[in-house]
Amino acid sequence: MAITLGKDCSISLGGTIASARSVTLSESARTIDVNPYGSRYSCVYQTGYECSVSVELNDSADLKSAFDNMHTGMPFQVSGGSAGFSFKAVMTAISESDPIDGVATFTLEGKMTDTRLTRGSG
């Protein structure tokens, strides 16, 4: 079994985010519930899948590109991880945590997109 280091993941918002503390990549299935006619049981049918990314960072200098992506809808590149994730994403949320006794952290959230559907090209 190989150990994968988190530093192998990269997020590019017009340049790689150097201050990322942690990156969480997720992939999940989109499903619908189906009840066959005349039956009482319910089953699930997969209609597609989605990928998402959550990045925690400390350096507010990296937020400029994130805000630009959020406001313009420009996609950004996500790649890495042991599962071989690689996709274009759009920014869906930016949050800031300011603990009284600690260092401020910023969290960027994104979801996979098809670049043909976004306002800009990336």
Q: Is 98 a domain residue?
A: yes
Domain housing 67: 6-112
Task: Name residue 96's amino acid.
Answer: E
| CA–CA separation, 5 and 25 (whole Å) | 14
pLDDT at 1: 46
Helix (H) or strand (E) run with residue 67 in it: helix 63-72
Domain of residue 100, CATH code? 2.40.30
Q: Is 117 a domain residue?
A: no
DSSP string, 41-61: --EEEEEEEEEEEEEEE--GG
Domain count, the chain: 1
pLDDT at 28: 93
Q: Is 119 a domain residue?
A: no
Q: Is 49 a domain residue?
A: yes
Contact partners, residue 59, CB within 8 Å, separation at least 6? 18, 19
pLDDT at 122: 47
| pLDDT of 93 above 90 | yes
| CA–CA separation, 28 and 35 (whole Å) | 22
Q: Is 66 a domain residue?
A: yes
Beta bridge partner(s), residue 26 = 52
Q: What is the pLDDT of residues 32-87, one digit of tens each?
A: 999 989 999 999 999 999 989 888 888 777 777 788 888 888 888 887 666 677 88
Average pLDDT of span 87-102: 88
Q: What is the pLDDT of residues 7-31, one digit of tens each?
A: 666 677 766 666 777 888 888 999 9
pLDDT at 56: 86
Beta bridge partner(s), residue 85 = 80
Q: Is 72 a domain residue?
A: yes
Q: Is 17 a domain residue?
A: yes
Both tokens of 77, joined, read: 């590149």
Q: Is 120 a domain residue?
A: no
Handedness of CA 110, 113, 115, 117 (dihedral sign): negative
pLDDT at 10: 66
